[in-house]
Amino acid sequence: MEDTKLDLRAKEILRTNDRGGYTVPTAGLYPYQWNWDSAFVALGFAAFDIDRAWTEVGSLLAGQWPDGMVPHIIFQRVDDSYFPGPDQWGTTTSPPTSGITQPPVAATIVRRLHDLEPAKGRRRAEAALVALDRWHEWFATARDPAGRGLVAIIHPWESGRDNLPDWDRPLSFVDTSKVGAYERRDTQHVAADQRPHQHEYDRYLALVAFGRDNHWDPAAIAAGSPFWVADVGVNAILLRAERDLAALAGALGDSDIADRATRRAERLQDGLASLWSDAAGGYVSLDLRREEHATTLSAGAFLPLYAGGVPADRAERLIPTLRHWLDAVRYGVPSFDPTDPQFDPIRYWRGPIWAVVNWMIAEGLAGAGHADLADRIRVDTRALIRQSGFYESFSPIDGRGCGGKDFSWTAAIWLAMTA
Ligand code: 9WN
């Protein structure tokens, strides 16, 4: 298909997945509103319908909890084609939501929407600013009670990179003996070899039960969650989001929020530095219960470049590693080290390429003065979509589409990379 037709198709996918003020990631597999998907969807809509982009942000932030958390799923309209649904989460909001969050990419995108048309977006940017500040403050308190500058995730789903090999060891400590029988719905939509294994799902559900049994109380979860890990992806995305929130607050003349976001960013900058592993040769996740760094690299290793402020000697190690990865596969960027034995080109976050991660890595590279590499990643992303269509993810080996098709965030990134 020619690029002009793909532009039209991308817009059509966003329109078709629009359920009235919020957008589902894809029909069938994911029938609800997801947090970071919605933020990227807003970026895509911004290429042709800025009002609709702001509506997406508004419906996402309307799901904010009283304590500031913005949930990972908003169950706008109950649909049993997805499991686990509202009953398993046992939250008490209306509409119901999950009890966990997702990578906080929203502030970065809200800043972009505002900057596109500052006068037109002012009122909605001001409302979003307050909600985003509360969400980031929640991260700083609920997920970093010790104040070490690293926020914890309590479930692999909070990383958005669900079955990354980084979670294998921390998950091995999660007791699944009380997980009863259940029916997975994901493998009814998508081939099982492109989805997480059953033993991982059992642990995902045990962690949902832990949160539900503790009424999603942040203090109880911080004290006892069997999974308490600093994901390099979430920490880098939050640091970038704090910087963007501070800039947005400055543009809107809110010095209180600007100061708070700047202070939080300074703390996160120190925390992120502690995720560097000389042994792995890059930034990795850290199991905060055991003080163990992950021993392998994922695409998250490059996200501190997107956060900004990576010291020159560390950037000098990351860039050759990225080039080496790109030379090892046909398309970049694989979600996991393609030279590691655990790499699997079609199994979800253990190898496949994700357009949204490519967008963040390319933004980071461009900002760090590596325009050539940023272009290469954008060229690959567009080539994958031209070859295979708007899939959820893609094999780095042969470019085939994996997971759900006509996927909202893939369409959004096509539009964002064209604009
Ligand atoms: C669980 C919606 C979401 C993405 C995640 C992706 C996948 C859900 C699932 O789909 O996760 O949240 O059921 O597999 O891993 O990043 O937000 O597209």
Point out the ligand 1 atom lying closest to the alpha carbon of residue 36. Answer: 17
Residue 61: which of 118, 22, 89 has the closest Cα?
22
Residue 121 Cβ contacting ligand 1 at under 6 Å: no
CA 100 to ligand 1 center in whole angstroms = 12
Over the stretch 213-227, which tens digit does the pLDDT of each residue have? 999 999 999 999 999
Residue 167 Cβ contacting ligand 1 at under 6 Å: no
Residue 31 Cβ contacting ligand 1 at under 6 Å: no
Are 393 and 334 in contact by the 8 Å Cβ rule? The answer is no
- Give catalytic residue positions: 162, 392
Q: Is the pLDDT reported for residue 31 higher than 90?
A: yes
CA-to-CA distance for 409 and 385, rounded, in angstroms? 12
Residue 37 Cβ contacting ligand 1 at under 6 Å: yes
CA-to-CA distance for 135 and 11, rounded, in angstroms? 30
Residue 157 Cβ contacting ligand 1 at under 6 Å: yes
Query: What does DSSP assign to residue 102?
Result: -
Between the CA of residue 378 and those of 368, 370, 383, 385, 399, what are the distances in Å?
A: 16, 13, 9, 11, 14
Structure confidence at residue 418 (pLDDT): 85
Which one-letter amino acid corresponds to residue 50? I
Over the stretch 289-347, which tens digit does the pLDDT of each residue have? 999 999 999 999 999 999 999 999 999 999 999 999 999 999 999 999 999 999 999 99
Query: What does DSSP assign to residue 154?
Result: S
- pLDDT band, very low/low/confident/very high, at 37 (cuts 50, 70, 90): very high
Structure confidence at residue 1 (pLDDT): 80
- pLDDT band, very low/low/confident/very high, at 388 (cuts 50, 70, 90): very high
Point out the ligand 1 atom lying closest to the alpha carbon of residue 349. Answer: 15
Residue 401 Cβ contacting ligand 1 at under 6 Å: no
Q: Is the pLDDT reported for residue 159 higher than 80?
A: yes
What global pTM score does this model have?
0.98
Is 256 buried (19+), middle (13-18) or exposed (0-12) by CB count in 10 A?
exposed
CA-to-CA distance for 409 and 390, rounded, in angstroms? 9
CA 30 to ligand 1 center in whole angstroms = 8
Q: H helices then E strands: how many in the chain?
A: 18, 9
The residue whose CB lies within 8 Å of the most ligand 1 atoms, and thus the one to mutate among 23, 33, 34, is: 34
Residue 345: which of 297, 296, 395, 401 has the closest Cα?
395
Give, using CA atoms, the residue closest to atom 4 of ligand 1. Answer: 160
Quick one: average pLDDT of 111-116?
98
> How is residue 176 written in tokens?
């699944």
CA 72 to ligand 1 center in whole angstroms = 9
CA 319 to ligand 1 center in whole angstroms = 28
Are 109 and 50 in contact by the 8 Å Cβ rule? The answer is no
Between the CA of residue 174 and those of 134, 150, 189, 282, 383, what are the distances in Å?
A: 31, 22, 27, 27, 40
* CATH pick for 3-418 out of 1.50.10.10, 1.10.10.350, 3.40.50.2020, 3.60.21.10: 1.50.10.10
Over the stretch 54-102, which tens digit does the pLDDT of each residue have? 999 999 999 999 999 999 999 999 898 999 999 999 999 999 999 999 9
Number of other CB atoms surrounding residue 120 within 10 Å: 14
Give, using CA atoms, the residue closest to atom 8 of ligand 1. Answer: 157
Q: How is the chain split into domains, by residue range?
A: 3-418
